[in-house]
């Protein structure tokens, strides 16, 4: 099976030696997205819900570049700097995954790239007959 690199300029460019996402077979594995505005390169700060929305907009752009939608997401991993912000992050997250949300893990971490407060990665099923 050959892996295909997915890239879109509608999400922030990788800030290291990694790809925005990799398609292999019927699955897409995204790298973690952080709250960077892809148009300005600026990090969104100061409001955890706004930060989470930017992260999910970036994730959505990568998923769509691969020909899928957020409805195809089967698993996310959410990394947050402060578990006390979980309820606010969850509220913003639910705007993107309201019906049949994917499986999810959420972990508090000491530090994230660029000292952001939230990062989210996803696994996406691309095969249409999976009826997701």
Query: Which residue of the set 22, 53, 106, 123 is catalytic?
Result: 106
**Are 34 and 62 contacting, i.e. CB atoms less than 8 angstroms apart?**
no
pLDDT at 88: 98
41-60: pLDDT as tens digits: 999 999 999 999 999 999 99
Bin 41: left if φ > 0, else alpha if -120 < ψ < 50, else beta: left
Every domain of the chain and the residues it spans: 3-130
Catalytic site includes residue 106: yes
Residues of the chain with pLDDT under 70: 128-132
pLDDT at 128: 63
Could you tell me the fold of the domain covering 3-130? 60s Ribosomal Protein L30; Chain: A; (3.30.1330)
């Amino acid at each position: 099976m050959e892996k295909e690199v997915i890239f879109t300029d509608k999400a922030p460019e990788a800030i290291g030696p990694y790809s925005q996402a990799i398609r292999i077979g019927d699955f897409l594995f995204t790298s973690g997205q952080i709250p960077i505005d892809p148009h300005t390169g600026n990090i969104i700060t100061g409001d955890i819900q706004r930060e989470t929305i930017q992260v999910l907009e970036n994730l959505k752009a990568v998923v769509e570049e691969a020909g899928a939608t957020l409805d195809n997401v089967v698993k996310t991993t959410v990394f947050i700097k402060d578990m006390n912000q979980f309820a606010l992050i969850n509220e913003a997250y639910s705007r993107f995954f309201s019906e049949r949300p994917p499986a999810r893990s959420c972990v508090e971490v000491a530090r994230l790239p660029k000292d952001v407060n939230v990062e989210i990665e996803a696994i996406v099923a691309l095969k249409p007959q999976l009826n997701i």
